[in-house]
């Protein structure tokens, strides 16, 4: 018995955590047990790394160091939480995963696809999400929803950074069409959730 692994991606404020809860409740209605987690984070070590990555303000962190820290957190998350839950038959819903490293570090920080891919091969081997929901919306929609936090190392970045990330995500979705489903998150939440349900129903049917 093995659970399925669903990841949710997108730039800030697209509704990832709200929809993670929605997915978990929908699965519960279908009698499927699920666990919600997030990255960076999901373990004690991962949450400490998250704190460094988001709020370190005394010293700079290079893009390569950032990438390594994210994958260090991810390695514990996969081995301590994700794989054990999946092997118990629990589905795992993760607010961001490796596609975020391609989008943010590969495209946003401009480390490139190959740099991220090489560390991905080392840490993940052939482990992949069963379904990735990419909640996509333009930056002006995001900015109209919430003020970005100026103390956050990512949220305090310039518009160009987020525009590179968004196009990086869309490129990833083109590359991995079967796994990554793009959902227009600029619409009202009810409409977004109809599309999410459709994707979940397809996954449940498999």
Contacting positions for ligand TMP (CB under 6 A): 12, 38-40, 70, 95-96, 100-101, 104-105, 154
Q: Which strand ranges, in their side-by-side order, compose the sheet holding 91-95? A: 34-38, 91-95, 5-9, 131-136, 180-184
Shortest separation between residue 74's beta carbon and ligand TMP, angstroms: 7
Token pair for 133: 């929901």
Give the span between the Cα atoms of 137 and 143, in whole angstroms. 10
Whichever of 26 and 102 has its CB closer to ligand TMP, that residue is 102
Shortest separation between residue 26's beta carbon and ligand TMP, angstroms: 21
Whichever of 19 and 101 has its CB closer to ligand TMP, that residue is 101
Whichever of 153 and 181 has its CB closer to ligand TMP, that residue is 153
Give the span between the Cα atoms of 185 and 133, in whole angstroms. 11
Tokens 């968004």 belong to 166
For residues 96 and 38, the answer to whether their CB atoms sit within 8 Å is yes
Number of Cβ atoms within 10 Å of the Cβ of 17 = 13
Give the span between the Cα atoms of 144 and 87, in whole angstroms. 41
Shortest separation between residue 187's beta carbon and ligand TMP, angstroms: 20
Shortest separation between residue 203's beta carbon and ligand TMP, angstroms: 22
Whichever of 19 and 105 has its CB closer to ligand TMP, that residue is 105
């Amino acid at each position: 018995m093995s659970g399925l692994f669903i990841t949710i991606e997108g730039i800030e404020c697209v509704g990832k955590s709200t929809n993670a809860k929605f997915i978990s409740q929908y699965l519960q209605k279908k009698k499927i047990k699920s666990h919600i987690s997030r990255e960076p984070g999901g373990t004690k070590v991962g949450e400490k790394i998250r704190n460094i990555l988001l709020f370190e303000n005394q010293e700079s962190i290079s893009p390569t160091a950032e990438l390594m820290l994210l994958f260090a957190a991810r390695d514990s998350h996969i081995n301590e939480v994700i794989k054990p839950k999946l092997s118990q038959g629990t589905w795992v819903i993760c607010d961001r995963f490796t596609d975020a490293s391609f989008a943010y570090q590969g495209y946003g920080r401009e480390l490139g696809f190959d740099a991220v891919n090489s560390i991905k091969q080392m840490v993940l081997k052939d482990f992949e999400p069963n379904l990735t929901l990419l909640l996509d919306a333009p930056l002006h929609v995001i900015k109209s929803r919430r003020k970005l936090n100026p103390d956050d190392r990512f949220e305090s970045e310039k518009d160009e950074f987020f525009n590179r990330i968004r196009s990086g995500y869309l490129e990833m979705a083109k590359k991995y069409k079967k796994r990554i489903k793009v959902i227009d998150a600029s619409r009202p939440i009810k409409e977004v959730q109809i599309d999410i349900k459709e994707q979940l129903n397809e996954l449940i049917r498999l």
